[in-house]
A and B are shown apart, each in its own frame.
Chain A
C-alpha cells in the first residue's frame, strides 16, 4: 500500500472561514509534508514533520497552522485565508533513512478562497 489519502478533494471557503485539510498514510512513514502548488508551477514545500515534530516551516504565514496528531495523520488548519491562497495543497510522506526514502503524494485538495 503506497497510498496517501487527502480529504476533502475540493474545498471552497470564504476569507472569514475556518477549515481543515486532512491527510492520512498507513505506510509507517515517519516524515510527512505539506506542499502548495499553483497552476503550471512545481510543488512548493510548506511544512515538514519528522517523527511527529515540526522540523521545517518554510516561512509560511500563520493563517496556515499544521498539526500532526500521530504518525499516520497530518492536518492543515486554515483561517482567514486570502484569495491568493487558492491552490492545490498536497500532502506527502516518506521514510527516513538512506534508501527507499522517496516521497509519496496524495491526490491533493483543490482549495478556492472566495
Chain B
C-alpha cells in the first residue's frame, strides 16, 4: 500500500540531545498524526495536526503541519531513555472515515 517517506529510519542519540524526524508525501493530507509505538504494544497518539502551518507542542514534543500540506516534522527536545521506541507519522483526509497512510517509522534509541 501507499506509504509516506519518513526519515531517518533509525537514530542513536545521547540522553539530553534533541531529535528531529520528518515525513513527506506526494499527496495532500488534511490531517497529520504522530504516533509512538513500543515493542508489543499498539501505536499511541502523540500529536494531531489539522491546519497547514500549525505548530503544536505536547511537553517536550513539537510537531508542525507543513504549509504545502505534504509534509510534517516532529522534534523531541532533551531526550530521555523512555523516549525509546518507533515513531510513525501518518496522514489522512477527513471524512466519514479516515484511510490512514503510515510512514515507514523512525526507530529511536537513546544512550543513557
Identify the A interface with B (CB < 8 A).
Answer: 2, 4, 6, 31, 33, 40-45, 48-51, 55-56, 58, 88, 90, 92, 94, 96-108, 110
Contacts and interface: CB of A to CB of B under 8 A. Distances in A.
Interface stretch (B14-22, B36-44, B61-69, B76-84): B36-44
B103 A42 contact: yes
A48 B99 contact: yes
A31 B92 CA distance: 14
Given A94-B98, A102-B31, A102-B45, A44 B40 contact: no
Contacts, number: 79
Contact of A96 (B30, B95, B102, B104): B95
Interface residues of B, number: 28
Main secondary structure of the interface of B (DSSP, over half): loop
Contacts of B102: 42-43
